[in-house]
A and B are shown apart, each in its own frame.
Chain A
Amino acid sequence: MNFLSSQRLLNKMSKISELSLTKIVNGIKKKDFSSEEVTKSFIDSSKKSKKLNTYITECFDEALEISKNFDKKKDYKGLLSGVPIAVKDLFCTKNVKTTAGSKILHNFIPTYESTVTSNLWSQGAFLLGKLNCDEFAMGSSNETSFFGNVKNPYGEKLVPGGSSGGSASALAAGLTPATIGTDTGGSIRQPASFTGTVGLKPTYGRCSRWGIVAFASSLDQAGPMTNSVEDSALLLQAMSGYDSKDSTSVNKKIENYSSNLTEKIKGLKIGIPKEYRVDKMPTEIDDLWKKGIEYLKDAGAIIKNISLEHTMYALPAYYIVAPAEASSNLARYDGVKYGHRAVGKNLIEMYENTRSEGFGNEVKRRILIGTYVLSSGYYDAYYLKAQKVRQLIKNDFDKAFKDVDAILTPSTPSSAFKIGDKSDDPVSMYLNDIFTVPVNLSGLPAISVPAGYDKNNLPLGLQLIGKAFDEQTILNLSLAIEKRANFKKNYSVWWT
């Protein structure tokens, strides 16, 4: 290859990694470029991104090999044919290390594949690598990972949000065409908002939890993280579906989110909950919310003021339910079956030392809170109380959805904050999820769509909450906002 043609190839490759998932899928089908060219382009940008610290495990050689085989066979039947995708390191991947961002699983190599990732692979995608996240998905800033904090493309000193921070940062920086995360209290939507990307938490039961490292089983749900609403519809379609191996997976037909996607939303009723206007919220976020209302009005939606009166109790209830479930789920890490093992004089001491060395501070705090609220004599006062509050929060939504088709709120009470700013104060960190947590407690679908910037040029997102199993409506509304907000990536590349 002469210099000029290799230069042309290089230009083409760098452009590929700036394309949307949908354009890449179509480009491969139309033979505008090969799967190998796509894969090389993302490997190339990923290799230059060490300073972002998004990858825990790179599968670049394997991905390249698969892409070459794909180009030989040319099977375009899947929704994601020939596309490399890096995923959050919470999804078990067969024969590829899966750490959950924890020391206690630093050497764990699953012998099985999670249902959600295997759904992606059956649609023709393949694994590019495993992305950093908060330890066991417990965190809102990606600072709790054993593998170090991830940085936000919008600033070297900024967190990408969490817990799917590695996924959000890799996506925003063009290191993967799309990615998947998990959302227990906002872990897809909050980092999406902090990085100017689209993050969707599906209805509880829409995507199988089988093979995902468990945090809080009644709240955990996997979902797509993408650069556009169109991509979100496509990836949701590829990953969701009933799975008999997850007893809470719901047997409903997978809708064709992509072909049903439309910005024609005339006549839909949108609720604006007054309880989401919180103290000390920057005026920019309030302004963005008003803009969102205008965008939807412009598209023909009808705006209605609503009340979700128990909103203020969602976060404290969450901090009973989630740690309680986590303390049970994480009991399996005992140094016997897998992962890190410490020495001890006897079995009990081995357990205690293993868990002390293996878990980080935030995970320990949550296990201890969970153990406390479930301990003898306290169950009714805490866990039962929280389940009652959860019912009240769900009732609020049920009532609201009698009058409206979807609810519009800000995604987060602030833009991305500085690394270290909140890591000493657990409660101030928890307050990040104030707008996202009620959705998890109620099992509803919600999406964060980038809608503007604050005065420091940091992205801000708007959240749309839908009725159970009505992902289509919130995707359509997001599309209407996306078209009108005309959000464009706006950072200078500092990490290469």
Chain B
Amino acid sequence: MVSVPASGTTPFTRSIEDAARAGRRVGTTLVGPAVLVVIAVNILPAFFGFYSSLRKIFFFGDEGFAGLDNFRSLFADPLTWEAIGRSLIFTFGALALAVPLALLAALAVRELGARGRILLTILLVPWAMSPIVVALLWKWILLPSPGGLFASILATFGMPPANLLSNPTWAMPTVIAVAVWRTFAFAAIILTAGLGQIPKDLYKAAAVDGLTAMERFSRITVPLLAPSILIVLSMLTISYFNEVQVIIGLTSGGPIHSTTTLAYQLYLTGFVELDQGRGNAIAVVMFLINLVLIVGYVQLLGNKKGGEG
């Protein structure tokens, strides 16, 4: 593949070695830029984040080594634990809503055949939108005054306008629903691909054996779809745990902290209050929780694949 100059004077083995060396050199040159950019922009800041979490940094001014002070004060603050709890509620609440919806969508796409592709395209439109723009859009839909779309729908059922976003009980479910509205169809892509991998003969054989639709779903679809479901779970978990834009756009963490997740707390502490030492400590905590989640899913996925292979 690397063109070897056909010089008769060089011994054959020598020219092969030269070619291999030249190949490695060209390969390294071609991969180099991508590797350098990724290390400089994705890996080094991670280390710098760990380093900064051990220092007192305010308003970009480094005031020296702080040991574990940032972490100590972080974990001594009950708001931190509440934020971690809300992050878990947000993440797993969104998963509990998104994954069944995505599964239903994927099943509908399969059943509809050619029209299924149109359905998938329609459902994916919000995924092409910006999270902050989606938040702005839903703020208008949910506006609790006459003329607002949601208020008008309530009015047709004889109900008064509801101010979901400024209600401490309803703000979190509303933010979750908006995040899911934007993202669930992305999971449907992967589940649709997974469904496509299941041999149709299995269903025919099951129908011959007299299995009901419910039995076919629980005995064929769910077990064979499990690897795709795990991929979806892992991708969405990470994405929901780190979701901040929808929260910034809809509630700014309120009312009364009811939507202040750890991701939003990081935004507030690091970027608004400019307490960058403590902010980096939050980032490190988030990073570790992410790591635990990723390793957990990889473990689950590995077991699943190993068990079937």
A binds B: no
B interface list, Cβ under 8 A from A: none
